[in-house]
Amino acid sequence: MTSQQKKVSIPDRKRPTPKPVEPKPPVEETDDSLLWGINAVGEALSSNPRSLCEILIEKGRAGGRIQEIIDAAREVEVRIRFVELERMGLPRDCRHQGVIARQTEAQLLPLSQLLAAEPQRILLLDSIQDPRNLGSILRSALAAGFSSVVLTSERSAPLTGTVARTSAGAVAHLQIARVVNLSDALRQLKEHGFWIYGAVAEKAAQPIYSTDFSGKIGIVIGSEDKGIRPLVQKHCDHLVTIPMPGEFNSLNASVAAALIMFEVVRQERSPSDNPQPLSR
What residues pair up with 197 in beta bridges, in sequence order? 219, 238
Structure confidence at residue 19 (pLDDT)? 54
- Looking at the structure, tell me whether residues 166 and 220 fall in a common domain: yes
Q: Which residues of 1-13 are buried (b: 16+ CB within 10 A; e: fewer)?
A: eeeeeeeeeeeee
Q: CATH number of the domain that 223 lies in? A: 3.40.1280.10
Confidence of residue 203 (pLDDT cuts 50, 70, 90): confident
Q: Can you state the angle between helices 253-269 and 131-144, rounded to 10 degrees?
A: 10
- Looking at the structure, tell me whether residues 245 and 122 fall in a common domain: yes
- Beta-carbon contacts of 73 under 8 Å, excluding residues fewer than 6 positions away, are 45, 49, 52, 55, 79, 80
Let me know if residue 183 belongs to a domain.
yes
Q: What is the pTM of this model?
A: 0.71
Let me know if residue 156 belongs to a domain.
yes
Helix H or strand E encompassing 100: strand 99-103
- Looking at the structure, tell me whether residues 114 and 77 fall in a common domain: no
CA atoms within 13 A on the CB side of 241: 14
Could you tell me the CA-to-CA distances from 178 to 19, 58, 159, 184 in Å, in that order?
Answer: 58, 24, 11, 12
Domain that holds residue 97: 34-103
Report pLDDT digits (tens) over 73-93. Answer: 998 888 898 988 878 777 667
- Looking at the structure, tell me whether residues 91 and 148 fall in a common domain: no
Eight-class DSSP state of 273 = G
- Looking at the structure, tell me whether residues 260 and 170 fall in a common domain: yes
- Looking at the structure, tell me whether residues 253 and 142 fall in a common domain: yes
Q: Which amino acid would we find at residue 65?
A: R
Q: CATH number of the domain that 97 lies in? A: 3.30.1330.30
The mean of the pLDDT values for the chain is 84
